[in-house]
Structure 1
Amino acid sequence: MNNERREQSESAGVASSRPTADGTRYRRYVALGDSQTEGVGDGDDATGLRGWADRLAELAAGANPGLTYANLAVRGRLAGQVRAEQLGPALALAPDLATVVAGVNDLLRPRFDADEVAGHLAAMFEALGAGGARVATLTFPDLSRLIPVARPVAPRISALNARIREAARAHGVTVLETAAHPVVTDPRLWSRDRLHASPLGHARIAAAFADALGLPGSDDSWRAPLPPPAVRPATGARAVAAELAWAATFLGPWFGRRLRGRSSGDGRTAKRPRLLPVTPARTP
């Protein structure tokens, strides 16, 4: 952090923080992204969404008293929309820690260009890093292991992950390699729609980011497999029936929105557009 930004933080009354494992202190964390970063799957619109970014902020605040946190993510946003709508407000908040996670909505569109999506991500990486932030992102798991009809998307995921790694290397961004660990496609880490993490999944993502960032008390236990399920997965006719029910409940409405040119994020704004103090960590 440069002297000007340090003076601004001290004049704003930000408390001194303990360093992370690598000696880094964080005072302002800003999250950019789409529905996963917003927290869809962890709570609901009636009771409020939590999500991995909220959980990560809680973990970071444990080592950085006085940490403030803003979440600019909005569900349904494409990578280009995240850049156009969230990057400017994020830079205005002068974060010293930022997470950028976007691209899944692009992967699922008929027209997908991995280079274009990666270009938007790289622009955000560069701008946030130039502003003094440590930036972190992640790679995406193979969705076809959760959604059999998504097998045609697997090459797209591999292509985007390769470009995310390349852009991250170019701009000194920390990459959370979720794609490399089998546990990330355990159905229990995903909500019923199989596109958003469950509360347990969001907790694992937060723990994984904490590990990647070297936060005190973090480790790689997030990679550990879950215990065997109490109930065996459905097979045969029951499995087919379950797939049909999932398609009718989630896939059909998703396609319907695409055909109408609609998005789940239409009319929505960021849930936490300003930097606010982080409340003590809640139970999972």
Structure 2
Amino acid sequence: MRPVRFVALGDSLTEGIGDRTGDGWRGWAALLAGSLGEQPVRFTNLARSGAQTHDVLEDQLPGALALRPDLVSVVVGVNDTLRQGFDIHAVAGRLDQVYAACAARGAVLLTACLPDPGGTMGLPGALARPLARRQRAVNTVVHALSDRYGAVHLHASDGDWVADRTMWSADRMHPGERGHRQLAVRFHALLAERGLAPGPAPSPEPESAAPTLTASLWWLATAGTGWVARRCTDLLPQLLALAADDLRHRARGTSVRLDLRTSAAVSAALAALTAGESPRLRGGTRQ
């Protein structure tokens, strides 16, 4: 029996940032790969920090398809929300192409919706709310396309794990080891329901301690400052304008208009996708 081929696509979350082992990163996908069954698993992680949906489509997908995968994870979209040129129409179109290409090759597709970055980083409400609307838009698209292509879909955008500080690394943007293990355990449970993960689930218990408050403050004072500075040249001017618009609507009691505007944009993006033959064989599985 040939090894199961598992290829992971996406950004820093799937690359494993926050779950350090030795001199590198491990992450939820590598943890999951070690628990897919007794037969050998050939795991390839093509995810890269900072990747957006266009990077997955243009750079990572061709390499993934060349490996003839049995299982492909596609978890991406947060970095799109952190860019000034965020366009849910473009995000939806790219994800549709990636999902369709994987499904057409007969690969089992893994997807997930994710928490909004403003909330996990603890940004002030006026700054966090516009980012939350963007992430909800991405999550709605991921939900719809996961159903369309029969993906194994993990609902990870909310729940106790998001607010549990022990699940997150010092940067408050990436899960720590415990958080990565939580994602691996939940993905394993979904695959096991389909008979695709006969091996034992990954352990949910971390091998290293969660970052201390001192470590988190040190990150913010060092690496975190550089991260914010890099984003400020792109996102911050627009984010401040979005925050001002949010505050104006809240003062007038018309915040619902912003939510309706986002919902309308998502509906239009999904409606614009080509309605060609879908390789979907069955509905997506969620947890």
TM-score under structure 2 length normalisation: 0.69
CA distance in 2, matches of 1:96, 1:75: 24
Give the AA of the match of 1:107: T
**Residue 249 (1) aligns with residue 222 (2):** yes
Residue 143 of structure 1, CA deviation: 3.5
CA distance in 1, matches of 2:48, 2:231: 17
**Residue 91 (1) aligns with residue 65 (2):** yes
SS at match of 2:69: coil
Match for residue 27 of structure 2? 51
Match for residue 161 of structure 1? 139
CA distance in 2, matches of 1:69, 1:101: 16
Match for residue 179 of structure 1? 157
Pair 1:68–1:217, CA change in 2 (3 A): closer
- The range that moved more, 181-190 or 122-131, is 181-190
Residue 145 of structure 1, CA deviation: 3.6
Residue 132 of structure 1, CA deviation: 1.3
Give the number of equivalent residue pairs. Answer: 224
Pair 1:246–1:72, CA change in 2 (3 A): closer
Give the AA of the match of 1:50: R
The CA RMSD over aligned residues, in Å, is: 3.2
Which of 165, 169, 175 aligns to 1:191? It is 169
Pair 1:115–1:64, CA change in 2 (3 A): farther
Residue 243 of structure 1, CA deviation: 9.0
Match for residue 201 of structure 1? 179
Give the AA of the match of 2:27: G
Q: Is the 8 A contact 2:109 2:152 kept in 1?
A: yes
SS at match of 1:74: coil
CA distance in 1, matches of 2:112, 2:38: 23
**Residue 40 (1) aligns with residue 14 (2):** no
Match for residue 198 of structure 2? 216
Residue 181 of structure 1, CA deviation: 1.9
Give the AA of the match of 1:92: A
Give the AA of the match of 1:36: L
Residue 180 of structure 1, CA deviation: 4.0
Match for residue 120 of structure 1? 94
Residue 258 of structure 1, CA deviation: 3.7
Pair 1:211–1:151, CA change in 2 (3 A): same
Q: Is the 8 A contact 1:94 1:132 kept in 2?
A: no
- The range that moved more, 49-58 or 105-114, is 105-114
Q: Is the 8 A contact 1:146 1:187 kept in 2?
A: no
CA distance in 2, matches of 1:35, 1:210: 20
Pair 1:70–1:243, CA change in 2 (3 A): closer
CA distance in 1, matches of 2:86, 2:61: 22
SS at match of 2:72: strand
CA distance in 1, matches of 2:120, 2:53: 23
Residue 118 of structure 1, CA deviation: 2.4
Match for residue 43 of structure 2? 69
Pair 1:169–1:253, CA change in 2 (3 A): same
Residue 111 of structure 1, CA deviation: 2.5
Residue 31 of structure 1, CA deviation: 0.5
Which of 28, 33, 37 aligns to 2:5? It is 28
CA distance in 2, matches of 1:75, 1:174: 23
Identity %: 38
Unaligned 5+ segments in structure 2 are 205-211, 235-287
**Residue 129 (1) aligns with residue 103 (2):** yes
> Which aligned pairs between 1:5-16 and structure 2 lie closer than 5 A?
14=2
TM-score under structure 1 length normalisation: 0.69
